[in-house]
Amino acid sequence: HDVGSRSYNNFGNYPVGVAGKTGSGESFYQGEVKEIINELTTNSTYVAFAPYENPEIAVAVIVPYIRNESVLPAGDLVKATMDAYFGFN
């Protein structure tokens, strides 16, 4: 969770130790919207487990076909899942 990283934004000061790995992979849209078929997109991924020392929960999120690379929501979804599991708001 290096300062300034997407992972740090979600878990840098989290009350439970979280181990995780972010990722973003290029893809080409192959869904049902014909106007954007074969358009370059990004898949947002995040895999994490917590607590780091004695894991109770593991979460893997993949959000495919993102058209704006500045919005990679997988980490936010993992954090929301961890918040719900550990009872944080």
Triad 14, 85, 2: Cα angle to 5°: 25
Each residue's pLDDT tens digit, 26-80 = 999 998 999 999 999 999 999 999 999 999 999 999 999 998 877 789 999 999 9
pLDDT score at 2: 60
The confidence band for 9, taking pLDDT boundaries of 50, 70 and 90, is: confident
Q: Which residues contact 74 (CB under 8 A, 6 or more apart)?
A: 22, 44, 45, 46, 61, 62, 63
